[in-house]
Each structure stands twice: as structure tokens, then as C-alpha cells.
Amino acid sequence: MKLTRPKPANLARVADFDEWLRHPFAGFPAFTSLFDVGNFVGTNVPARLATDVYEDADNFYARFEIPGVKKEDVKLELRDRMLTVTAEKREKSGNDEQSYSLSRSVSVPDSVAEDRISAKLENGLLTVTLPKQEHRKPRTIEVN
Amino acid sequence: MTTCCTPSTTVPSTAAANEQALRKPRYSTSGTDQAYTIKVELPGVPKDAVTIGFDQNVLTIQAARRETAPGSWKPLHRELNDLGYALRLRLNAAIDEDKLNAQFSDGVLIVTLPIREAAKPRQIAVN
């Protein structure tokens, strides 16, 4: 009988994927807050942004729809492997200006190279590119 | 808020011809004595994919193409909708079609519809 070991590389990938799935709503106090209408205009609690998460061989991608938001009103923050996107939406009607913020946090897998995260805003669609780190080399540990 | 238009339930004929599923975008309307303004949110739509039509007091806004993720991207978690947009509004006021103006930036389309001179409120002096 022969035992085959799963490839460590594959295991790492599965762990990443699981992490995304386990915390897709990470950063939110409670799931019920999604249905709280008070979340929108008039409160200090930012409304929740919808997101799409993708991956390819080199990167993870997170996409958010923020029509009418200027580049300078978008804030991206990475803290404790949690990426938070906050968009300040300003709406002008005559002399009045109303503003409210939209926000979303997603957990970032360990394998992301934090220092190379980039973002692009085009036609109201924000795409955050989270590059995967170069394949981690297997380490050999010597026994003394 | 001034009401200038009512949504029309009729599916745009061009959309039916394309056999493409479209959805109604988020929009808001406002108005003054001079003009109405319609703001439509079309995130992910390239500028050249937006078409605006005006016929017999019905304004049609269509963006059948919405930028979708490249085929090589594997979806892990989806919440956004990839469908294009279609909006039909029946206008209750006489509009000066020739001065219809549209601006598109940051995924928001702003259509300005000037009210026809004859339809503007007038003050009539009493002799």
C-alpha cells in the first residue's frame, strides 16, 4: 500500500479560498444590518458596498460599484489583513450638498503581497488588485 | 421634489431585438422652471456604450454593455450584477428636444431637459 501526500502548494491555495468564503462579510457588526434602511442617508453608519471577488494565477481582484464618486473621495485602508474601502458620495442639488459614505471590508488572504496592492477607478467601477506573493519556496530545517 | 416623468413599463424594442436581459438603473429626477435634470447611475458602463433616445415625450436611456470581468478571472464571491441597463421615462412636460444635453462622468449620466419656451410658467399682467 502506498500513501500519497497532498501537495503543499495546493493546500495553501485551498486555505486562501476558505478564508475568503469564511469572511465574505468580515468587518460588519451583524448580518442583519444589511437590511437596516437606516444605514443609508442621514446616519453616520456607512452603507454597505456590494463586492465581487475574483482571482487569476497572479492576483486576487475585488470590485466595487461606486458611481458618482471621485477618485479623491475613495479611501483604501489595510489593517490586520482587512482591506476596507470607504467611498464618500457627495450629491449636489442647487446650493445644498449632501454627502454619505459607503464602506466595505474584505479579509485579505495571507498570500497577498500587501505592499503591491493597487486600485483603479474607471466609470464608477473600482477594481482593487491584490497580487499574490511569489511562490513560497519550501524550507528545509536542519536538525542540530 | 418636482415630478417630471413617470417610468414606462414597456421594454425597449431594441433590447428585445438583442434578446439581452437589461435592468432598470438607479435614477433620480429634479427640476426647476427652466429645465429638468435626470441623474442615472450606470457603473461599469463605458461612455460610448450609452445611447439616449427621445421620441414622443418618452426618454430612453440604454447601456446594453457593462464592463465584465475578464474571462481569465475566476469568480470567488459575487454580489454585483453584470446586466446592462435600460430606462424609459415618459415626460409630463413639453421639452425642447433640440437643447437636450447629456453628460457622462464617473459612471453617472446627467441628462438636462430644457422646458420649451411655450410651456414655461408665465405671468399675465392684469389691465
Residue B123 counted as domain residue: no
A27 vs A88: which has the higher pLDDT: A88
Among A5, A25, A6, A20, smallest CA distance to A111 is for A20
Q: Give the integer Cα–Cα distance in Å for A124 and B42.
A: 8
Q: Grid cell 462622468 — which residue?
A: B105
Nearest CB among B67, B70, B79 relative to A51 is that of: B79
A46 vs B55: which has the higher pLDDT: B55
In which domain, by residue range, is B24 found? 5-70+78-117
Residue A91: phi and psi, rounded to 5, are -120, 120
Q: Grid cell 424594442 — which residue?
A: B13
**Number of helices and strands in chain B (H, E):** 1, 10
* Closest-CA distance of chain B to residue A51, Å: 6
Residue B125 counted as domain residue: no
Residue B94 counted as domain residue: yes
Indicate whether A7 pLDDT > 70.
Answer: no
Residues A67, B41: C-beta atoms closer than 8 Å:
yes
Domain containing residue B58: CATH number: 2.60.40.790
Digit-coded pLDDT (tens) for A73-108: 999 999 888 999 999 988 776 678 888 889 999 998
Domains of chain A listed by start with CATH number? 8-131 (2.60.40.790)
- B43 Cβ neighbours under 8 A, 6+ residues apart: A65, A66, A67, A123, A124, A125, B107
- When pLDDT is averaged across residues A14-31 and rounded to a whole number, the result is 51
Mean pLDDT estimate for chain B: 84
Question: Which residues of chain A does B70 touch, with a Cβ-Cβ cutoff of 8 Å?
Answer: 56
Indicate whether B124 pLDDT > 50.
Answer: yes
* Closest-CA distance of chain A to residue B126, Å: 33
Residues B75, A60: C-beta atoms closer than 8 Å:
no
Digit-coded pLDDT (tens) for B62-95: 998 788 889 999 999 999 988 999 999 998 888 8
Residue A16: phi and psi, rounded to 5, are -60, -50
Residue B11 counted as domain residue: yes
Band (pLDDT 50/70/90 cuts) for residue B102 is very high
CB of A93 within 8 Å of a chain B CB? The answer is yes
Q: For position A67, what pLDDT does the model report?
A: 93
How large a percentage of chain A has pLDDT more than 90? Answer: 35
Residue B127 counted as domain residue: no
Residue B122 counted as domain residue: no
Number of domains forming the structure of chain B: 1
Indicate whether B12 pLDDT > 60.
Answer: no
Q: For position A11, what pLDDT does the model report?
A: 45
Residue B45 counted as domain residue: yes
Q: Taking a contact as any Cβ pair under 8 Å apart, which residues of chain B between 56 and 95 contact chain A?
A: 67, 69-70, 72-80
Digit-coded pLDDT (tens) for A117-126: 999 999 999 9
Counted across chains A and B, CB pairs separated by less than 8 A come out at 80
Beta bridge partners of A92: A97
CB-based contact A141:A15 (threshold 8 Å) = no
- When pLDDT is averaged across residues A56-72 and rounded to a whole number, the result is 92
Mean pLDDT estimate for chain A: 75
* Closest-CA distance of chain A to residue B4, Å: 16
Residue B126 counted as domain residue: no
How large a percentage of chain B has pLDDT more than 70? Answer: 86
Q: Please tell me what DSSP assigns to residue B20.
A: -
Indicate whether B13 pLDDT > 60.
Answer: no
Nearest CB among A21, A51, A54 relative to B74 is that of: A54
Q: Please spell the DSSP secondary structure of A63-125, one letter per residue.
A: EEE-TT--GGGEEEEEETTEEEEEEEEEEEETTEEEEEEEEEEEE--TTB-GGG-EEEEETTE
